[in-house]
Amino acid sequence: MGHRFSKRKLEGTENLSPGRFSVSEEAPPHYSSYSTGSEMAVSMETPTQRPSEVVNSRQDNRRPSIYSTMDAMPHLEFYANATATGRIRRCRPSLETLRKTVDVDSGRGSVSALQESEIESEENGPGGKTAQPVRFGWITGVMIRCMLNIWGVILFLRLSWITSQAGILLTWLIILMSVLVTSITALSVSAISTNGRVSSGGAYFMISRTLGPELGGPIGVVFSFANALACALNTVGFAETVRDLLIEYDSQIVDSVNDVRIIGSITVTVLLLISLAGMEWESKTQILFFLVLMVSFVNYFVGTLIPATPQKQSIGVFGYRSEIFLENLFPDWRGADGDFFRMFAIFFPSAIGILAGANISGDLKEPEIAIPRGTLMAIFWTTVSYLAISSTVGACVLRDASGSMNDSLPLNFSEPCEGLSCGLGWNFTECQQSGTCTFGLANNFQVLIQVSGFGPLIYAGIFAATLSSALAFLVSAPKVFQCLCKDNIYPFIGFFAKGYGKNNEPLRAYLLCYIIAMCFILIAELNVIAPLISNFFLCSYALINFSCFHASITNSPGWRPSFRYFSPWTGLFGAVISVVLMFLLTWWAALIAFGLIIFLFGYVVYKKPGVNWGSSVQASTYNMALSYSVSLAGVEDHVKNYRPQCLVLTGPPTLRPALVDFVGSFTKNVSLMICGDILMVRTNSSALKRPNKKNGSRNSNDMIKWLNQRKVRSFYTSFKASDLREGARHLLQASGLGKLKPNILVMGFKMNWHESSSKGIEDYINTIYDAFDSNHGVCVLRMMDGLDIRDELETEGMLCSSVCNTANDQIKTVFQSNQGKKTIDVYWISDDGGLTLLVPYLLTRRKCWRRSKVRVFIIGEQQTMENDRKERFEETLAPFRLNEGQLDERTAQQQRTEFTWKVTDKEMDALRPKVCVCVSLPVAQADCPSSLYMSWLDTLSYGIHCPVLLIRGNQQNVMTFYCQ
């Protein structure tokens, strides 16, 4: 189902504002029920009173009822984007509001009261009545604008020359190939524009809202610049035509180059003033240009029907002749530019104006209707005109003519004569053989002027085509750039986002576009830069087509365009052919365009702007994740593919950053990590009946944002439970999806177990037992100062900011720094399947742990030898030790000064630094008292200054010894 709705109106709804479901402006239909036997019937009454009368009547007629609802009728404003409107939009009541008990007698919370407040807010709003912006329909806003942009100087000054080179058949092929690309793009534009309300921004808005800011941002910059550059080029085309006319009449301002600069500067300034006058004046000017073009076309076609005079025949114009048509049907390549793709490259820029209507989407009445209809109609009629002019000029004009009246043949001529002209009474053989012919399709660019009934009208058409295109580009560039600036994707451009007047005109962006256009007009050497325009437009076409294709194949429920005449595969074909054409036209310009887009793309990816437009990339990510998760569920487990997937009982991750950083060190880019937060709730009957929303609730978005800024790849999940054990048990069972489920429970060591109640110790130890019972491994991390930094934050007055505004405060932990050449001591007391060795190895794969060495201590002969060596070393070093622990501070300081050669305790520790100690976690029997087991764990890890990890696998192999 598309976003468009039926245009059919109900009786009595002529004065309603567009986009409403209900038959009344403010009051929804009134439903009343009546009983008919065993069935209950519902009737709908359409109120005809004023809204205030309806409100009062409903309050008077309301009866107490068990079912008293505040549900609102369907309304388009409920689905509107709040940021896209100038006022606060309406919203439907929340579930919490609907479930509240309503005081029927007083009317508080009733739907009528809600409507009454809406009426007052609208009538007494601060804005009052404001001037309505000018909106255009599909003809003036899209079709005429696109046709004017497609018709240009190439139509009047190059199409006849292309026909002489390629012949009529290949010229038609060139035209149809160009139209194929633009038509496919138009279908994609139509699909995107009917998938929801299109705001201002044109191609940028469509691409960015479909593919996201990463690709939308670069295209917005490139497309805005291309439009500004196209304005300069069309202005220069107009200026060159005026200069040539001046030269023809022996008149010049300064010289040929400066004349172009002067005329172009004056012209673009006048166009700027028209644009600043407002879209209404700009639209009227475009209509004037359109009428001039229509007159020039009629003038040309009438000229083809007028019998040719001897003067016209001398320059190769003979009117419709079948022999001329057949002669010009096939190609006659000449010169360095004589090949098919070169002709295509010259013609294609004339077809790039199909986005002129879409670029002012914010100024259209109904863009979802205007853009498809106007764009496709413009392509159809301009295609007909190009085909008609190329075929008629090829049927009326010879390729070569001398322009000399002396070359006419008498009735009985005996001179040698070759070629088609001989049968028409003219001998152009000499100039054909010597290559000195100055007239005809192949030699003169002003053939359409010569064929027409009145030549100056064709000049008027050229002026109208160039000026209308320049004006359209001068309007399009600021509109697109303003939308880009409002999105705040790139820095230092927000200044140009401000709009003025009832149409929100981007006056600052107009001035910027004017300056850019003026700079290139003053250069007056655009032959090198001009190919960039076609490549930039083709790049936009490629991304528009790819956007439509990508949005279609993701099967997202949010992609439901009402325009059905498109296929995702035609979109993909359009994207591929656009990229191919970029390199066929000008390969170096294509490389520049791609290089610029990649640079801008990289910047957006690096900065990660805080926008979310529900792009198809997100939908594709979901599809891939779902597909791979389902596929993984059918894959049998193998020891070589084992990954430690951790459920980490962090509570709020912001309060235990060390635990988060440590687990993230060996799971990042390797395996799954889930931060579990158990929210303790009351278990009395009232709390269970209706849980308090504020009781222990946390914003998961803030937690995820904090994890992302800390560069920890982890999920966050919270669970309400009465105690630690219940919450952990449910998290162990419910966390994960398919094979992406935790297989290790990671906890922090309970530092305050001496002061805790027996119930607290019991819950903590039983949580470990439950993990073993569910076949999970267990890791317990202990640090000398503990893991919870709540006290530290309270001391520094940062608790609120760390919990409530988690994105701004990041506390550095020991696991984030470079560990250097330290050791990770592993005491592998019990064989648990290898997890005790695997985790330290994974740690050393991280950059900050890479230089650390792993030392493994095991029970047995090697351990005995190690202890022997250690005892021998201690005995040898004993006479040289400064035993500071047995001395008071003053005596120790005195001996350090006198006996500098003795080894201090600090120097001794520096010789054997440890970054972490891993110890096999003992497994207690089921009847082991919790306090005894807790004492055991405390004894194993007590007094060690570096982090200690008590780790235990589930007795299943997690490491391989053999290859298979």
DSSP type of residue 354 = G
- CA-to-CA distance for 826 and 852, rounded, in angstroms? 13
The tens digit of pLDDT for each residue in 186-232 reads 999 888 888 877 777 777 887 788 888 888 888 889 888 888 988 88
Whether residue 882 contacts residue 859, with contact meaning beta carbons closer than 8 Å, is answered with no
- Point out the least confidently predicted range of 19-33, 420-434, 832-846: 19-33
Which tops the pLDDT comparison, 722 or 868? 722
Q: Given a cut of 90, is residue 252 above it in pLDDT? A: no
Q: Given a cut of 80, is residue 143 above it in pLDDT? A: yes
Q: Given a cut of 70, is residue 35 above it in pLDDT? A: no
Q: Which of 749, 809, 681 is nearest to 948 (CA)?
A: 749
Q: What is the mean pLDDT of residues 108-129?
A: 46
Q: Given a cut of 90, is residue 661 above it in pLDDT? A: yes
Q: Given a cut of 60, is residue 700 above it in pLDDT? A: yes
- CA-to-CA distance for 511 and 290, rounded, in angstroms? 26
Q: How confident is the model at residue 499 (pLDDT cuts 50, 70, 90)?
A: confident
Query: Beta strands 646-649 and 673-680: pairing type?
Result: parallel
The pTM of this model reads 0.70
Q: What is the mean pLDDT of residues 847-874?
A: 71
Cβ-count burial of 155 within 10 angstroms (0-12 exposed, 13-18 middle, 19+ buried)? Answer: buried
Q: Given a cut of 80, is residue 5 above it in pLDDT? A: no
Cβ-count burial of 44 within 10 angstroms (0-12 exposed, 13-18 middle, 19+ buried)? Answer: exposed
pLDDT at position 279 is: 75
Question: Helices (H), strands (E): how many in the chain?
Answer: 36, 11
Q: Given a cut of 50, is residue 696 above it in pLDDT? A: no
The tens digit of pLDDT for each residue in 359-397 reads 887 778 888 888 899 999 999 999 999 999 999 999 999
Whether residue 178 contacts residue 344, with contact meaning beta carbons closer than 8 Å, is answered with yes
Whether residue 306 contacts residue 319, with contact meaning beta carbons closer than 8 Å, is answered with yes
pLDDT at position 17 is: 38
The tens digit of pLDDT for each residue in 758-804 reads 898 999 999 999 999 999 999 999 998 888 888 777 665 554 444 44
Cβ-count burial of 616 within 10 angstroms (0-12 exposed, 13-18 middle, 19+ buried)? Answer: buried
DSSP per-residue string spanning 582-617: HHHH-HHHHHHHHHHHHHHHHHHHHH--S-----HH
- Portion of the chain with pLDDT greater than 70, in percent: 78
Tokens of 557: 């429920």
pLDDT at position 609 is: 80
Contacts 24+ apart (CB under 8 A), 750-755: 750/934, 751/782, 751/786, 751/787, 753/934, 753/938
pLDDT at position 293 is: 92
Q: Please state the φ and ψ torsions of residue 718, each to the nearest 5 degrees.
A: -120, 155
pLDDT at position 800 is: 47
Q: What mean pLDDT is reported for the chain? A: 79
pLDDT at position 40 is: 39
Whether residue 451 contacts residue 318, with contact meaning beta carbons closer than 8 Å, is answered with no
Structural domains of the chain sorted by starting position, each given as residue range(s) with its CATH number in brackets: 138-401+437-607 (1.20.1740.10), 639-952 (3.40.50)
Cβ-count burial of 165 within 10 angstroms (0-12 exposed, 13-18 middle, 19+ buried)? Answer: buried
Query: Beta strands 777-782 and 744-748: pairing type?
Result: parallel
Q: What is the mean pLDDT of residues 475-488?
A: 88
User: Where would I find the H helices in 315-366?
Assistant: 322-327, 340-347
- Straight-line distance from the first to the last Cα atom of the chain, in angstroms, rounded to the nearest whole number: 53
pLDDT at position 101 is: 58
**Highest mean pLDDT: which range of 172-181, 209-218, 527-536:** 172-181
Whether residue 188 contacts residue 210, with contact meaning beta carbons closer than 8 Å, is answered with no
Whether residue 179 contacts residue 376, with contact meaning beta carbons closer than 8 Å, is answered with no
Q: Given a cut of 50, is residue 292 above it in pLDDT? A: yes
The tens digit of pLDDT for each residue in 46-84 reads 344 444 444 444 444 444 444 555 777 777 777 766 555
Secondary structure in 3-state letters for 887-908: CCHHHHHHHHHHCCCCECHHHH
Q: What is the mean pLDDT of residues 32-47?
A: 38
pLDDT at position 37 is: 39
pLDDT at position 512 is: 92
pLDDT at position 297 is: 93
Q: How confident is the model at residue 113 (pLDDT cuts 50, 70, 90)?
A: very low
Which tops the pLDDT comparison, 149 or 297? 297
User: Where would I find the H helices in 524-567?
Assistant: 530-553
Q: Given a cut of 90, is residue 685 above it in pLDDT? A: no
- Distance set, CA 753 to CA 35, 495, 724, 762, 763 (Å): 67, 59, 14, 10, 11
Cβ-count burial of 571 within 10 angstroms (0-12 exposed, 13-18 middle, 19+ buried)? Answer: buried
